[in-house]
């Protein structure tokens, strides 16, 4: 009771269906090309329009190639999906940031950077990483395509109210430990289902001192613990980040908005369904060894032994290690790798590129490594060039590609070949996620950069 | 897609693995369709087929001794991506019910919105059911939605399962959420008036 989640959720309740779900009003719907076409089809077959087209923003990101975006997409099926979104937006009167538009990028990068994502909002998208937007203090969650259609038709969604959890992280993060490591640490503590059924509020000293980009990364990964969403109460870091953005309130409206946003905090008497407390000093740079994001270790640690896994989970654990080509009990430090991927809605923001550049500066990319550096949006790309990071990266042997989801889920050409290892700043290490047979090791931009210049899994702290 | 539900009695297809994510149910490269057709053919694609398109004989869907419209899976089924294509693939293959001890949130809603019933049972019931199916591949399960019960016919064990009354009504009567929301447009406008 009296949690920030309750405050935002309850304000948006249109009605509670008897013995059923809540009808929740949605302030913002984001759509990309993969999970929307069938929703538009549904509207057409029912003869419906979008109820509030001005609250819907669309852009292609999953299929977009990361090179030669000025040329037609070669894969005809990808091209059709991207073209279908453009056509649907025109037909239904929705804002569309198409490929090569200076506003295009990964939807979860673009929303916050344009000020479309604001504190106190309810935000949904047909994409599980919609949780990202919680970083500014919004209730944001991923939905299926039927639910996308529901929101298009009614600007509402029917949902059971989730339970609330607060995760407090006290203390300070050590050198080379960043938001991604915090998230990977939480996933391995909670497992990929530990927060299922909950909305998570992140709090504590570590969070208060975390940059907006870091908060976006942390909230992005809430779904990987099973949580529907995760969010952080807005504070001065949030307001500074939003101020001046294209869609942020201006003038008197801004002052009024900030006044309201300052009330968006859990009360001192707030009661959560579950509370967990961790110490930031316990976290070191992390890597995953298995095929779900909860299968992770500190970079100096060893993969667990089979006996330490509960019986019902042993078959999945063994299948996972055999897929990855690793053995129980061994360390990952020093293992050779083949690819490095910097990007995705998880780590495709300016701070991630700054972190990567800080490690590789003055070094050279290892010869055995293919590196794909993919900004999350054109705005990130412009910032990279403005700060001269492109020069540092180029001197170290790295090229910058064009924005999109890219090798996070390999719907475009950026596929990791079967059997190859990729140290990836993305969000999922599932079997085949980065291409059939690909082997993903999830890590922070710092760990990815250290691997890129050494050619093996390395502790980034030696380069800082 | 709108199939009415009542009592379903069927043999089962067992998948005794935990944390089966939606990338395994339907890999991303098969998400490029702009309609809902044909996803069943690629259900569990990379577990089911070799790279050259030939069948992997060890995978349960390729074992002719198993059949039925009920999928039985280990805990945390449907984790990861929100892709509803996973539910379309499950429904498209012909499954009507998925039984597990735990479902990921978004996938569970996606199944319900496609008239596939997710049935949550205890871990003990699930493990017993896996054992019954392993002993006799023709083991039947009865899923009774009106009574909200699931019965392992081999052992006679029965459990009650939860579903909210609204969703149960929708499934039994073949209604979906949009039908409901459209009837409530005045309430939506009233909310907007009050909050804008």
Range(s) of the domain holding residue A396: 286-463
Contact B46/A156, CB-based, under 8 Å? no
pLDDT digits (tens, 9 = 90+) for A259-268: 999 999 999 9
- In the block, tokens 């070094």 appear at A363
pLDDT digits (tens, 9 = 90+) for A33-77: 999 999 999 999 999 999 999 999 999 999 999 999 999 999 999
Confidence band, pLDDT 50/70/90 cuts, at residue B4: confident
Is the pLDDT assigned to residue B179 strictly greater than 90?
Answer: no
For A246, the token pair is 């294209």
Question: How many domains are there within chain A?
Answer: 2
Contact B104/A196, CB-based, under 8 Å? yes
Confidence band, pLDDT 50/70/90 cuts, at residue B1: low
As a whole-number percent, the residues of chain A with pLDDT over 70 amount to: 100
pTM comes to 0.97
CATH number for the domain that contains residue A167:
3.30.499.10
As a whole-number percent, the residues of chain B with pLDDT over 70 amount to: 99
Are both A12 and A56 inside the same structural domain? yes
Are both A184 and A59 inside the same structural domain? yes
Task: Look at the alpha carbons of A79, A82, A86, A88 in this order and tell me if their dihedral is positive or negative.
Answer: positive
Contact B18/A312, CB-based, under 8 Å? yes
Q: A205 with A169: CB under 8 angstroms?
A: yes
Contact B79/A192, CB-based, under 8 Å? yes
Are both A257 and A381 inside the same structural domain? no
CB contact set of B128 (below 8 Å; sequence gap of 6+): B152, B155, B157
How far is the CA of A310 from the CAs of A304, B10, B169, in angstroms? 12, 31, 38
Does B27 contact chain A (CB < 8 Å)?
A: yes
Are both A379 and A444 inside the same structural domain? yes
Does A142 contact chain B (CB < 8 Å)?
A: yes
- Which chain B positions have a beta carbon within 8 Å of A228's beta carbon? 105-106
- The residue among A284, A308, A338 that closes a domain is A284
Q: How far apart are CA A307 and CA B128, in angstroms?
A: 23
CB pairs under 8 A between A and B: 189
- Which chain B positions have a beta carbon within 8 Å of A23's beta carbon? 181, 184, 187
Average pLDDT of A443-452? Answer: 98
Cα A260 to chain centroid distance, Å, stands at 27
- The residue among A226, A259, A284 that closes a domain is A284
Q: What is the pLDDT of residue A312?
A: 83
Is the pLDDT assigned to residue A100 strictly greater than 90?
Answer: no
Give the DSSP letter string of A371-434: EEE--SBHHHHHHHHHTTHHHHHHHTT--B--SSSGGGTTSSS--PPTT-EEEE-SS---TTTT
Are both A152 and A255 inside the same structural domain? yes
- The residue among A266, A284, A302 that closes a domain is A284
For A416, the token pair is 């990791």
pLDDT digits (tens, 9 = 90+) for A354-402: 999 999 999 999 999 999 999 999 999 999 999 999 999 999 999 999 9
Is the pLDDT assigned to residue B2 strictly greater than 80?
Answer: no
Q: How far apart are CA A84 and CA A34, in angstroms?
A: 10
Are both A348 and A409 inside the same structural domain? yes
Does B148 contact chain A (CB < 8 Å)?
A: no
Cα B93 to chain centroid distance, Å, stands at 11
Are both A303 and A273 inside the same structural domain? no
Strand pairing category for B70-73 and B97-100? parallel
Are both A146 and A233 inside the same structural domain? yes
Does B23 contact chain A (CB < 8 Å)?
A: yes
Edge-first strand listing for the sheet containing A13-16 = A13-16, A22-25, A156-159
Q: What is the pLDDT of residue A1?
A: 78
Is the pLDDT assigned to residue B78 strictly greater than 90?
Answer: yes
CA distance A442 to chain B (A): 15
Which of A65, A193, A442 best tests the B interface by mutation, with the highest count of B CBs <10 A? A193
Query: Can you name the residues that pair with A411 across neighbouring β-strands?
Result: none
For A131, the token pair is 């949780």
Q: How far apart are CA B157 and CA B131, in angstroms?
A: 13
Contact A15/B187, CB-based, under 8 Å? yes
pLDDT digits (tens, 9 = 90+) for A295-323: 999 999 999 999 999 988 899 999 999 99
- Which chain B positions have a beta carbon within 8 Å of A35's beta carbon? 82-84
- Which chain B positions have a beta carbon within 8 Å of A18's beta carbon? 165-166
Confidence band, pLDDT 50/70/90 cuts, at residue A290: very high
Task: Look at the alpha carbons of B124, B126, B130, B132 in this order and tell me if their dihedral is positive or negative.
Answer: positive
Q: What is the pLDDT of residue B48?
A: 97
CA distance A153 to chain B (A): 7
The CATH fold of domain B7-195: Aconitase; domain 4 (3.20.19)
Q: What is the mean pLDDT of chain B?
A: 95
Is the pLDDT assigned to residue B3 strictly greater than 80?
Answer: no
Give the DSSP letter string of A203-221: ESHHHHT--HHHHHHHHHG
DSSP H or E stretch at residue A260: helix A251-261
Q: What is the pLDDT of residue A82?
A: 98
Q: B99 with B119: CB under 8 angstroms?
A: yes
**Cα-trace Rg, chain A:** 21
How far is the CA of A3 from the CAs of A141, A201, A314, A394, B152, in angstroms? 17, 9, 38, 47, 42
Edge-first strand listing for the sheet containing A28-31 = A95-96, A56-58, A28-31, A122-125, A139-142
Give me the residue spans of the domains in chain B: 7-195
Query: Can you name the residues that pair with A279 across neighbouring β-strands?
Result: A170
- Which chain B positions have a beta carbon within 8 Å of A316's beta carbon? 17-19, 74
Contact B80/A315, CB-based, under 8 Å? no
Are both A102 and A6 inside the same structural domain? yes
For B60, the token pair is 């349960």
Nearest chain A Cα to B22, which residue? A430
Cα B151 to chain centroid distance, Å, stands at 17
- Which chain A positions have a beta carbon within 8 Å of B164's beta carbon? 19-21, 160
Contact A146/B195, CB-based, under 8 Å? no
Q: What is the pLDDT of residue B193?
A: 96
Are both A137 and A215 inside the same structural domain? yes
Are both A331 and A425 inside the same structural domain? yes
pLDDT digits (tens, 9 = 90+) for B28-54: 999 999 999 999 999 999 999 999 999
Average pLDDT of A157-174? Answer: 97
ipTM more than 0.85? yes
Q: What is the pLDDT of residue B196?
A: 77
Q: A156 with A51: CB under 8 angstroms?
A: no
Is the pLDDT assigned to residue A121 strictly greater than 70?
Answer: yes
pLDDT digits (tens, 9 = 90+) for A213-253: 999 999 999 999 999 999 999 999 999 999 999 999 999 99
Query: Which 3 state secondary structure label does DSSP give A269?
Result: coil
Are both A258 and A387 inside the same structural domain? no
Q: How far apart are CA A194 and CA B19, in angstroms?
A: 12
Q: How far apart are CA A228 and CA A130, in angstroms?
A: 9
For A442, the token pair is 């999830």
Which of A8, A158, A163 best tests the B interface by mutation, with the highest count of B CBs <10 A? A158
Q: Which of residues 22-41 of A touch B (CB under 8 A)?
A: 23, 25, 34-35, 37-38, 41
Query: Which 3 state secondary structure label does DSSP give B171?
Result: helix
Q: What is the 3-state secondary structure (H, E, C) of B9-56?
A: EEEEEEECCCCCEHHHHCCHHHCCCCCCCCHHHHCCHHHHECCCCCEC
Q: How far apart are CA A422 and CA A442, in angstroms?
A: 8
CB contact set of A424 (below 8 Å; sequence gap of 6+): A339, A340, A341, A344, A407, A408, A434, A440, A441, A442, A443, A448
């Amino acid at each position: 009771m009296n949690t920030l989640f309750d405050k935002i959720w309850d304000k948006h309740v249109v009605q509670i269906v008897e013995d059923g779900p809540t009808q929740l009003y949605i302030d913002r719907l984001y759509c990309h090309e993969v999970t929307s076409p069938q929703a538009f089809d549904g509207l057409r077959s029912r003869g419906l329009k979008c109820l509030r087209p001005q609250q819907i923003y669309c852009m292609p990101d999953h299929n977009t190639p990361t090179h030669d975006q000025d040329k037609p997409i070669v894969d005809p099926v990808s091209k059709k999906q991207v073209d279908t979104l453009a056509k649907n937006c025109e037909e239904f009167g929705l804002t569309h940031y198409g490929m090569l538009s200076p506003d295009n990028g990964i939807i979860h990068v673009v929303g916050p950077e344009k000020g479309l994502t604001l504190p106190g909002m309810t935000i949904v998208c047909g994409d599980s990483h919609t949780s990202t937007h919680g970083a500014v203090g919004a209730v944001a969650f991923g939905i299926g395509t039927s639910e996308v259609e529901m929101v298009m038709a009614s600007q509402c969604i029917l949902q059971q109210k989730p339970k609330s959890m607060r995760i407090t992280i006290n203390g300070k993060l050590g050198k080379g430990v960043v938001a991604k490591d915090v998230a990977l640490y939480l996933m391995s503590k909670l497992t990929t289902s530990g927060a299922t059924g909950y909305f998570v509020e992140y709090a504590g000293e570590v969070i208060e001192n975390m940059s907006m980009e870091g908060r976006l990364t942390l909230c992005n990964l809430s779904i990987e613990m099973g949580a529907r969403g995760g969010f952080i109460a807005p504070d001065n870091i949030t307001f500074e980040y939003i101020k001046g953005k294209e869609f942020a309130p201006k003038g008197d409206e801004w002052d009024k908005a900030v006044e309201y946003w300052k009330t968006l905090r859990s009360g001192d008497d707030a009661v959560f369904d579950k509370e967990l407390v961790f110490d930031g000093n316990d976290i070191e740079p992390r890597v995953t060894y298995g095929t779900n994001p909860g299968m992770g270790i500190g970079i100096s640690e060893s993969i667990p032994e089979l006996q330490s896994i509960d019986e019902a989970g042993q078959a999945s654990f063994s299948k996972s290690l055999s897929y990855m080509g690793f053995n129980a009990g061994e360390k990952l430090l020093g293992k050779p790798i083949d690819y490095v991927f910097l990007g995705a809605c998880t780590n495709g923001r300016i701070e991630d590129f700054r972190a990567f550049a800080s490690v590789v500066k003055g070094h050279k990319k290892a010869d055995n490594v293919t590196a794909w550096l993919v900004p999350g949006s054109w705005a990130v790309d412009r910032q990279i060039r403005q700060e001269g990071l492109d020069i540092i990266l180029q001197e170290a042997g790295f090229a910058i590609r064009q924005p999109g989801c890219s090798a996070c889920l390999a719907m475009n050409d950026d596929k990791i070949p079967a059997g190859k290892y990729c140290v990836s700043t993305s969000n999922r290490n599932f079997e085949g996620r980065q291409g059939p047979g690909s082997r993903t090791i999830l890590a922070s931009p710092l760990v990815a950069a250290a691997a890129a210049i050494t050619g093996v899994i390395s502790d980034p702290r030696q380069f800082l | 897609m709108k199939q009415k539900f009542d009592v379903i009695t069927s043999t089962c297809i067992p998948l005794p693995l935990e944390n089966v994510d939606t990338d395994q149910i339907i890999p991303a490269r098969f998400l490029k369709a702009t309609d809902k057709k044909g996803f069943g053919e690629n259900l569990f694609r990379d577990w089911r087929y070799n790279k050259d398109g030939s069948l992997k004989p060890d995978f349960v869907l390729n074992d002719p001794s198993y059949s039925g419209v009920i999928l039985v899976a280990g805990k945390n089924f449907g984790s990861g991506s929100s892709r509803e294509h996973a539910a379309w693939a499950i429904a498209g293959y012909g499954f009507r019910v998925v039984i597990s001890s735990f479902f990921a949130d978004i996938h569970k809603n996606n199944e319900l919105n496609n008239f596939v019933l997710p049935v949550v049972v205890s871990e003990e019931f699930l493990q017993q059911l896996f054992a019954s199916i392993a002993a006799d591949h023709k083991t039947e399960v009865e899923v009774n939605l009106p009574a909200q019960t699931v019965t392992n016919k081999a052992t006679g064990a029965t459990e009650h399962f939860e579903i909210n009354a609204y969703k149960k009504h929708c499934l039994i009567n073949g209604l979906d959420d949009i039908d409901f929301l459209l009837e409530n447009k005045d309430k939506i406008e009233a909310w907007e008036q009050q909050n804008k």
